[in-house]
Amino acid sequence: MDQRLKEKIGLFAANRMVISKEFALDMEISHMAAALLFALQDKEADTERLKEVKKILKSKTSVLSAFRESSEPMVVAGMALSSNPEQYLDDLIWIFDIVKKKHALEENYALLSSMIILDSGRKAGTETIKEKTEAIMKAMSKEHPILTSSEDLPFATLLAMTDRNIDVIISDMEECYTYAKKELKIKADADSIQAIAQIFALSGGNIRSRCDKIADLFDSFKAHKAKFDGGLLFPALASLVDIDMDTDALVEEIIEAADLLKTNKGFGNFSLENKDRLMFAAVLASEVFKADTGVFGSNVNQAIMTNSVISMIIAEEVCMMCVMFMMMSSANNN
């Protein structure tokens, strides 16, 4: 196993231990997302720094705000990684107030979009980015009204920060979607294929050859008995397509990394499914093996990972609400 990837896995696991102590009541998956933000920048999470940042966050936001809900560990991580946590939060709140105007019911995704804008150094262009994001979302909805939802907002924000024409963006997305679904027949759900299409549309290029690489990766994971399921985690495969490395060798590295991750406390089968470990391992492998991280650097990997995590958190919260509703209904009927 590549030594650099082994070190990234170790840093990720160590950061998760530190963060979990500070956010004991939050969902474990959000701790992992925050820990990965540190690992992506080769930084160690520091307990005292986290405590300091949490105090700033609590002094400037209410308990019921999006900043203090399931996304809090990720917001704190972003602040802690900044040279000026208080200014980072002030800027994030300013951007969020603009972005959320049309997404009041989608605050988790609006917050992630706001972090993407800020972390990309694009605060000054927030209004323009928001307008282009809305235009992209509208165009996507026109092509796929059922598929397009709040989950697409962070990737639409990334697309809005490129200098690419919206018509060209949508054309590339449709080429990818149609080719992957109808010709390659990749066995992933339509939402996952649309997410892949959004990521590929960031830079354009030969869309079909990149889709071919996705299909090869998907098949290789399956052949290695480590199926990289569709759904929320599938877009992580897109982070691997530009790595100049034999497909099977890359897949074996990621599987080894996921197995190594499993040996760390909090990453075993009781805490995490293997497909989740594969997602984290894939994102870290992308950081290690990709020669050119592109115009957005680690921000694309950050978006892939945090978007998946937020979707998992929301799905788990909905599941818990359904269970509570059924329990209440059962009690009332008895």
Instruction: Please report how many Cα atoms fall inside a 13 Å half-sphere around the Cα of residue 251, on the Cβ side.
Output: 20
How far does CA 81 lie from the centroid of its chain? 17
Determine which of 66-75, 90-99, 102-111 has the lowest per-residue pLDDT on average. 102-111
pTM for the model stands at: 0.88
> Tens of pLDDT along 34-90?
998 999 889 999 999 999 999 999 999 998 888 988 889 999 999 999 999 999 999
322 pLDDT higher than 50: no
Q: How many folded domains does the chain comprise?
A: 1
d(CA 15, CA 194): 32
27-47 as b/e: b if 16+ CB within 10 A: bebbbbbbbbbbbbeeeebee
pLDDT at 308: 67
Q: Which CA distances in Å does 158 have to 25, 97, 202, 235, 307? A: 31, 18, 7, 15, 12
Taking residue 174's Cβ as centre, other Cβ atoms within 10 Å add up to 16
User: What are the distances in angstroms from CA 201 to CA 116, 196, 204?
Assistant: 17, 9, 5
Tokens of 187: 């066995």
Q: What is the pLDDT of residues 171-189, one digit of tens each?
A: 999 999 999 999 999 888 8
| Cα–Cα distance, 226 to 323 (Å, whole number) | 31
**Domain limits at 211?**
3-333
Q: Please tell me the chain's helix, strand, coil percentages from 3-state DSSP, rounded to the nearest 5.
A: 75, 0, 25
| Whole-angstrom distance, CA of residue 266 vs CA of residue 270 | 8
